[in-house]
């Protein structure tokens, strides 16, 4: 059971929000904001605190790479990440309806289901303490299910944790990791992009149930529009290409707005397909090194996407299993498929927190660099209208 329109209206706590938003179909103006964090890879400054039972991965090289991430996270969470989260909480506007965390809430790599659950609880507890009574919505990320290859229960733990926590936050029943909820006239579809999710029929059913929405938002950890920098995106496996194209057409026809994380890059794309337009924003909050927050957000247009598309033609992916490699879409073919439709493109490895502002005729995202409390740039995301930097 998803959060249907009926379930949302009956369930209620989030149905009446800030900014004058009432129940679905309310005639009075509905304006509100949402505080947003990208990946945060919550971890301890002591690398053994959550990872003492994590002993291996698919390959030794991959395992050692994960251990380096634990060290990176320890450095981030010693100082920078707590400041970033605190700054986001400080910038919550008076009309705030929610706080979103766009996946990879935690690092994972626990090797033990009880530890994994504790890590999720600790990370969520930090956000709740920071945002207070503001409902916090968490999008399932790949690190949120990552653990030892022999099955340490990480995936099963998240699949129970998300419905329990999100039901409490939204005030209605959430039964899975892909679900629909409403705020006033706007539909939000949270998508679990982790393989083998999402169930395509279920996802298309949620789109059907959200017909008539003022704005339709897709919240997926993996981007909807591939960035040409990663093979991980929504329905990105090669054997799901037709599903991906069908979903893309449906979203474009709707004029959907896609919100994502995962790439550790701030990205903005405006794409015009034959069926319509998709606006996408990718949020980066992984403050992995000092100074990343100071990178300039210069340039816009299609050239950025085209340059990245050309650069991948001689790219050799890291060694993976033949079974998995066969399912992934070839990046060069992918760039040829999307490049003609990309009208605006920006990708910068800068980091910070964000605030989305929603009204009848405007959807914007304010970017706050690092732990700043003053916005550095505003982006216009409303599909069907002019996109880009303001």
Q: How many CB atoms lie within 10 A of CB 241?
A: 16
Q: What is the pLDDT, as a whole number, of residue 328?
A: 56
Helices and strands: H and E segment counts in the chain: 10, 14
- pLDDT tens profile 234-253: 998 889 999 999 999 999 99
- pLDDT tens profile 281-339: 999 999 999 999 998 886 555 556 766 665 655 555 566 666 556 555 667 778 888 98
Distance from the Cα of residue 112 to its chain's centroid: 25
The one-character DSSP state at 200 is H
Q: How far apart are CA 364 and CA 366, in angstroms?
A: 7
Say whether domain 5-389 belongs to CATH 3.60.21.10.
yes
Q: What is the pLDDT, as a whole number, of residue 94?
A: 97
Q: What is the pLDDT, as a whole number, of residue 29?
A: 62
- pLDDT tens profile 52-66: 999 988 888 889 999
Reported for 287-291, long-range contacts at CB under 8 A and 24+ positions apart, including other chains, are 287/76, 287/80, 287/81, 287/84, 287/351, 287/370, 288/72, 288/76, 288/264, 288/351, 290/80
Question: Is pLDDT of 382 > 70?
Answer: yes
Q: How far apart are CA 182 and CA 180, in angstroms?
A: 7
Q: How far apart are CA 334 and CA 236, in angstroms?
A: 10
- pLDDT tens profile 176-192: 999 999 999 999 999 99
- pLDDT tens profile 114-166: 999 999 999 999 999 999 999 999 999 999 999 987 678 999 999 999 999 99
9 confidence band (pLDDT: 50, 70, 90):
very low
Return the domain boundaries, the chain.
5-389
List of residues 6+ apart from 36 with CB closer than 8 A: 99, 100, 101, 102, 259, 283, 353, 354, 355, 356, 365
In whole angstroms, how large is the CA radius of gyration of the chain?
A: 20
């Amino acid at each position: 059971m998803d959060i249907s329109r009926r379930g949302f209206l009956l369930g209620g706590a989030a149905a009446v929000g800030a900014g004058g938003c009432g129940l679905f179909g309310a005639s009075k103006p509905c304006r509100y904001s949402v505080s947003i964090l990208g990946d945060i890879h919550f971890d301890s400054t002591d690398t053994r605190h959550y990872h003492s039972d994590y002993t291996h991965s698919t390959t030794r090289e991959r395992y050692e790479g994960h251990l380096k991430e634990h060290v990176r996270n320890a450095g981030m969470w010693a100082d920078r990440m707590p400041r970033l989260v605190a700054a986001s909480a400080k910038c919550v506007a008076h009309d705030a309806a929610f706080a979103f965390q766009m996946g990879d809430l935690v690092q994972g790599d626990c090797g033990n289901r009880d530890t994994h659950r504790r890590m999720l609880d600790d990370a969520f507890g930090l956000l709740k303490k920071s945002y207070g009574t503001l409902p916090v919505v968490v999008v399932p990320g790949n690190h949120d299910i990552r653990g030892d290859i022999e099955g340490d229960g990480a995936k099963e733990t998240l699949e129970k944790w998300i419905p329990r926590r999100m039901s409490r936050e939204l005030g209605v029943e959430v039964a899975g990791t892909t679900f629909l909820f409403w705020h006033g006239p706007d539909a939000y579809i949270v998508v679990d992009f982790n393989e083998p999710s999402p169930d395509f029929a279920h996802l298309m059913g949620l789109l059907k149930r959200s017909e008539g929405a003022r704005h339709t938002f897709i919240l997926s950890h993996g981007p909807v529009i591939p960035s040409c920098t990663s093979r991980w995106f929504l329905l990105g496996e090669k054997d799901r290409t037709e599903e991906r194209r069908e979903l893309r057409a449906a979203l474009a026809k709707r004029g959907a707005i896609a919100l994502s994380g995962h790439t550790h890059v701030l990205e903005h794309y405006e794409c015009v397909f034959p069926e319509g337009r998709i606006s996408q924003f990718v949020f980066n909050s992984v403050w992995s090194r000092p100074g990343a927050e100071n990178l300039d957000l210069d340039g816009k247009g299609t050239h950025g996407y085209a340059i990245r598309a050309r650069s991948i033609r001689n790219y050799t992916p890291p060694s993976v299993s033949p079974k998995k490699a066969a399912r992934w879409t070839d990046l060069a073919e992918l760039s040829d498929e999307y490049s003609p439709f990309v009208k605006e493109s920006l990708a910068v490895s800068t980091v910070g927190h964000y605030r989305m502002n929603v009204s009848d005729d405007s959807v914007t995202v304010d970017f706050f660099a690092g732990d700043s409390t003053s916005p550095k740039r505003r982006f216009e995301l409303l599909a069907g209208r002019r996109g880009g930097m303001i």
